[in-house]
Amino acid sequence: MPQFGMGALLVAWTLCGCWSPSPIPAATRQLVLGVAADWDQSEVQLTLLERAPGAAWQPRWRTAGFLGVNGLAWGQGLHGDAAPAGAPLKREGDGRAPAGAFLIGPGFGTGAAPAGMRWPYRRITSTLRCVDDPKSRHYNLLVDAAATEPDWSSAEDMLRSDELHRYGLLVEHNPARVPGAGSCIFFHLADAGATVGCTAVVQRDLAALLRALDPTARPVYVLLTRKSYRDLAARWGLPALTP
């Protein structure tokens, strides 16, 4: 989300001509990879991969998780605007998780950060909101409702009674905050299954991911269907897809 400087980073990369055919920066050494069977699938296989400079990606951690109740849709991130053939486009309230390549924002949670965590972390409060009203000037931002004059008709309470945000991570989808293109995308804890558009995993695995993320490795989240993965793997520099 742009308040953490990711939108400015995207603009800077564009102006300096630093884009490559792959949306994954050359300096990235950690990749959180999600692969779903198709665009309407709510289940996802997740892998944390790491690479040394100039070396191939190596898997370090795998788990299963859940996506939006309606599956995936092509989002806005590092990958630009061109969507794979047949891919739906991410829209606010569509119940789909954004697909593509995205920077990973800070972690958050209701208590202290997991022991050993190096990634930036924010403790959430009862007044922290994520604004999902496309008409608001705070759209797709985290705001403190106690210190902000509300101009929104809809916002998500970050401190939830169901504990889904006991641990979480921001996904930097729609950093330009295009109205209606989707907002408030997270990794968060899983409960019974599919989400409204986020990626959900069990607490043990999410805590392990939070501890594993290394700020110096500039991690990126890539979420694709199996077909789009096969189509994009060579250009994006992704490893061969395992069965």
What are the boundaries of each domain within the chain? 7-17+28-233
The whole-model pTM stands at 0.90
| Each residue's pLDDT expressed in tens, for the chain with a length of 243 residues | 434 344 444 444 433 334 448 999 999 999 999 999 999 999 999 999 999 998 999 999 999 999 999 999 999 999 987 899 999 999 999 999 999 999 999 999 999 999 999 999 999 999 999 999 999 999 999 999 999 999 999 999 999 999 999 999 999 999 999 999 999 999 999 987 899 999 999 999 999 999 999 999 999 999 999 999 999 999 999 998 876
Q: Give one DSSP letter per residue of 93-143, joined into a string.
A: TSS-EEEEEEEEEEEEESSSPPTT--S-EEE--TTEEEE--TTSTTTT-EE
Q: Show Cβ contacts of residue 61 under 8 Å, excluding neighbours closer than 6 positions.
A: 47, 48, 205, 208, 209, 212
- Count Cβ atoms below 10 Å from residue 128 Cβ, excluding itself: 20
Calculate Rg over the CA atoms of the chain. 17
Whether 196 contacts 45, CB under 8 Å: no
